[in-house]
Structure 1
């Protein structure tokens, strides 16, 4: 079965160009949506991927219609390969059912791994440089006095959590984390 997927980022954009190209190529079923490529929770993409079976072909107009980040794109492509689903990107001229398409996919995989390694190395180097300057990173700790005041207000049961946030500047998450920490420490 040939399953196609088309996406535009905003409601005022048109799917026509993609649909025309996909129809010319041919497909059995198509999923379309208007959603940002940066979102990981695209319902129609999830449905399309869930309906693919071994031996099927997944078709997109262009790689950037599938994902905006290299990592997300490769996660999808590796899952397709693992499930023995062929992949076609019309504009990028990628077809994993051909020897050239498989070779291109292999080269892309090498570059994706290289990119991940470079990002990891930069992150480690940045953290080491920050530590050398006395910075440990992470979120700044919530002021202990503010946190104590927030807990007293919470335990007094006279204010809602939203009101406590406004009065003390302590976020709901910080308040609940501290309450849970104290509860654990008490046992």
Structure 2
């Protein structure tokens, strides 16, 4: 699920060239987090700012599917300007905000946030947005770099990287001990150990040969390593 349709995504990168100053309609978008909150103040501010139409959601910013935001983005045409009371009403994060505004830029649509006085239809506003985008990219690169360095350090210490195995060595030994007893079924043992039958067959591969292999001590092929 995405906040905006894929065809409106920013494909040129956040620092692409903004269009000339839009001269079309001003369209507002307001949002409150819960149904108990009122939209009146936001709508009044957007109307006073010259918005000819205001779309509004009553949903948390963490909710990726905001129907009225989609409707607002669909309503906008080249030359229009999307106006919001503040940046946190539009984006769930700085990356989300940059993606939405970048998508507007590619459609020749301006963006204005009243509280922050950010207006991409002006040179100063475009400069501020470029700074936001550059900062977000810098932070992203730092996170990626830190993650890679942390993984390399863990590997150097001999630590296992990735998901833990579905069954521990102790569980595998316990399963084998139970399986040699005819009264215990594969299903009951899997349930007791909190794993699926498929996992049990994966970590006790001699089961594929038959339960007699467990009694005879034939372990079959080697156990799969941790993945």
TM-score (norm 2): 0.63
Contact 1:38 1:69 in 2 (8 A): no
Deviations 1:93-149 (A, max 9, x none): 0111111111111111211211111111121122222222223433212128599x9
The residue number in structure 1 matching 2:120 is 96
Distance in structure 2 (CA, Å) of the matches to 1:101 and 1:107? 10
Distance in structure 1 (CA, Å) of the matches to 2:83 and 2:58? 17
Contact 1:54 1:85 in 2 (8 A): yes
1:37-56 paired onto structure 2 within 5 Å: 37-56=61-80
Distance in structure 1 (CA, Å) of the matches to 2:77 and 2:160? 47
Aligned-pair Cα RMSD in Å: 2.8
Contact 1:5 1:31 in 2 (8 A): yes
Higher radius of gyration, 1 or 2 = 2
Secondary structure of the corresponding residue to residue 87 of structure 1? strand
Specify which structure has the bigger relative contact order, considering alpha-carbon pairs within 8 angstroms and separated by 6 or more residues.
Answer: 2
1:42-81 paired onto structure 2 within 5 Å: 42-81=66-105
TM-score (norm 1): 0.75
The ranges of structure 1 where at least 4 consecutive aligned residues each deviate by more than 3 angstroms after the TM superposition are 144-147
Deviations 1:39-94 (A, max 9, x none): 22212112212222211110100001111211111111111111111000000101
| Runs (5+) with no aligned partner, structure 1 | 154-158, 179-187
